[in-house]
Amino acid sequence: MTVLIRGGTVVNADRAFRADVLCAGDKIVAVGDNLEAPPHATIVDAGGQYVMPGGIDTHTHMQLPFMGTVAADDFYTGTAAGLAGGTTTIMDFVIPDPRQRLLDAFHTWRGWAAKSAADYTFHVAVTWWDDSVHEDMGTLVREHGVNSFKHFMAYKNAIMADDETLIKSFRRALELGAIPTVHAENGELVYQLQRELLARGVRGPEAHPLSRPPEVEAEAANRAIAIAAVLGTPLYIVHVSCAESLDAIARARARGQRVYGEALAGHLVIDDSVYRNPDPAYARAHVMSPPFRSPQHQAALWQGLRGGNLHTTATDHCTFCAAQKAAGADAQGQEDFTRIPNGCGGVEERMMVVWDAGVNSGALSPCEFVAVTSANAARIFNIYPRKGLVAAGCDADLVVWDPLATRTLSAATQFSKGDVNVFEGRTVRGVPTHTLAAGKLVYVNGDLRAEQGAGRYVARPAFTGADAGGAAGAAGMHGAPATMAAIP
Ligand code: URP
Ligand code: ZN
Ligand code: ZN
Ligand code: ZN
């Protein structure tokens, strides 16, 4: 397929300029003025619109088996929904059960993901430790294109990594040129607070945020940062939701530590009043970890994105329908909030929500929008400039963006599966009109043409001395000096 996108303004993280974009096969082949249309090319008129790199969602959980159920969106429906929102690559998570070989889990997830409509890649979680984990981490980096390992510091009695696991895994990641990432919450503290709340009869979804106050997150963020500092590893903290964690990142960065932070679209725009809604189904629909926070925390996250202490935006897309969320109540109506499957959606809405709340408000420029929706992710996880840039030679993953068009987000009209939308009723200005994935027009003005199995696995090379300019370059250099040209 040959596609010529004509008359738009190309927006990259570093600059915006008027140019046509020509795509042939799965690559961008030319970016420039008045490009000539090859015979049989499909022409997209982008007049008055922006042409940006397709979004990279650094954090999704398609069809995740979790808390006794399985997330509703599978790799096909979830990636297709992403394409409808301008996201062309997802970074999902392989999460082995404790004692399960990492390689076995990796192959299971690869099988599930074969039906993806968009490109995908995996962080692999280290949920336990022994010599086989050490060995499998090496195989994953060297033979399977994995350069990031995830550690859940929460979810005690399930997938929580203890300090021994964190330290051994961070050290191993450094040795391999991979970047450790953490879900930062003190799982023991969460567990104890949950038990106390249940014992006091505070059992409904309103108890969820009370069991996970900002200090719970900040303690774990500070601990992970301290471990990374001692071992000399870079660190990426997923779903930073509160000012206290952000402060920990800012302090570490001011000391010269390579710490990167991710903000979720939901945490940026939804506040904790959702847990006090009198409708328990509504409140349960918003149960995710870390929980939604007060508006002061939201303001801090926007400052972090603009000020450079937060680098990526993601969604933690992990959808459960109302019936699954109802696991929090038994037949007699007795609630136990600790049983509500944790997770919310957003892969379809992220770009629109971040544009509407970020760019329209002046909090972010269009170039900064590209930085936090694709370019920084590509740099941190070593797939730049294949992804995250509009230039000849890059993947033809593009979104054509109408800054004036509006859309009202709703479960009734979403492509994502399920009956819940945490952005329900929000009208956004700035929406994708066309999405190109690997050079194919997969979304055109409401017409989703996602193709099951068209997505490709994206292997991500380890960081070595030669790519020290990459964000996490020091990982492969054992702490030797590295230039930081890649990250603003
Ligand atoms: O509540 C959440 N975030 N569910 C998905 C798993 C995780 O913690 O990322
Ligand atoms: Zn070793
Ligand atoms: Zn998490
Ligand atoms: Zn997650």
- Is residue 387 one of the residues assigned to a domain? no
Nearest CA to ligand 1 atom 2: 343
How large is the average pLDDT for residues 263-281?
Answer: 97
Q: According to the model, what pLDDT value does residue 332 have?
A: 78
Ligand 1 contact via 61 beta carbon (within 6 Å) = yes
| Cα–Cα dist 160/466, whole Å | 34
Tell me the residues surrounding ligand 3 (ion) with CB < 5 Å. Answer: 183
Nearest CA to ligand 1 atom 9: 316
Mutate to test the pocket of ligand 1, among 289, 337, 340, 420 (most ligand atoms within 8 A of CB): 289
Residue 17, Cβ neighbours under 10 Å: how many? 12
- Is residue 357 one of the residues assigned to a domain? yes
Ligand 1 contact via 316 beta carbon (within 6 Å) = yes
Are the C-beta atoms of residues 484 and 149 closer than 8 Å to each other?
no
Q: How confident is the model at residue 485 (pLDDT cuts 50, 70, 90)?
A: very low
**Ligand 1 atom closest to 59 (CA):** 9
Phi, psi of 450 (to 5 degrees): -60, 140
Q: How confident is the model at residue 473 (pLDDT cuts 50, 70, 90)?
A: very low
**pLDDT tens-digit profile of 108-165?**
999 999 999 999 999 999 999 999 999 999 999 999 999 999 999 999 999 999 999 9
Ligand 1 contact via 208 beta carbon (within 6 Å) = no
- Is residue 6 one of the residues assigned to a domain? no
**pLDDT tens-digit profile of 397-429?**
999 999 999 999 999 999 999 899 999 999 999
Name the residue range of residue 328's domain.
54-378+458-477
Supply the mean pLDDT for the chain.
94
How large is the average pLDDT for residues 293-297?
Answer: 98
Name the pTM for this structure: 0.96
| Cα–Cα dist 63/258, whole Å | 32
Amino acid at 8: G
Ligand 1 contact via 262 beta carbon (within 6 Å) = no
Ligand nearest to the CA of 173: 2
- Is residue 449 one of the residues assigned to a domain? no
What is the CATH number for 367?
A: 3.20.20.140
Number of domains observed in the structure of the chain: 1
C-alpha closest to that of 252 among 241, 273, 236: 236
- Is residue 16 one of the residues assigned to a domain? no
**pLDDT tens-digit profile of 34-66?**
999 999 999 999 999 999 999 999 999 999 999
How large is the average pLDDT for residues 166-175?
Answer: 98
- Is residue 191 one of the residues assigned to a domain? yes
- Is residue 106 one of the residues assigned to a domain? yes
The DSSP bridge partners found for residue 52 are 399
Q: According to the model, what pLDDT value does residue 74 have?
A: 98
Which has more pLDDT, 475 or 442?
442
Ligand 1 contact via 55 beta carbon (within 6 Å) = no
- Is residue 206 one of the residues assigned to a domain? yes
